[in-house]
């Protein structure tokens, strides 16, 4: 099963990522430095992360999964730094 997950951090920001292996432990591959900026020391002590599968397919090709990931990044606006941690595709000069 190939899936696309929405990862929500306790500060409310999100990351959209694809997992072509449907691993239970997949939590995306966002830029750690970007995430770190969104939390103070106290918040880091009680960090929570929610993983939600927002799309899945047994038959999609890797290319189709990648295209769906881009579509969902745009839909959820997770590439807007005020909303999420996706760095691509670029939006509004960021």
* Alpha carbons 78 and 85: distance in angstroms, whole number: 6
Please list the pLDDT of the chain residue by residue as tens digits (94 residues): 999 999 999 999 999 999 998 888 877 788 889 899 989 999 989 989 999 999 999 999 999 999 999 999 999 999 999 999 999 887 765 5
Per the rule left: phi > 0, alpha: psi between -120 and 50, beta: everything else, 53 is beta
* In 1-94, alpha helices (H): 32-37, 41-45, 62-76
């Amino acid at each position: 099963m190939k899936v696309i997950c929405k990862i929500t951090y306790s500060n409310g920001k999100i990351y959209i990522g694809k997992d072509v292996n449907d691993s239970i432990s997949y939590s995306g591959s966002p830029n750690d430095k970007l995430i770190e900026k969104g939390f103070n020391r106290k918040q880091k002590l009680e960090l929570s992360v929610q993983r939600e599968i927002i799309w899945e397919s047994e038959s999609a090709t890797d290319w189709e999964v990648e295209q769906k990931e881009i579509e969902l990044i745009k839909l959820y606006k997770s590439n807007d730094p005020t909303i999420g941690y996706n760095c691509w595709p670029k939006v509004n000069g960021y």
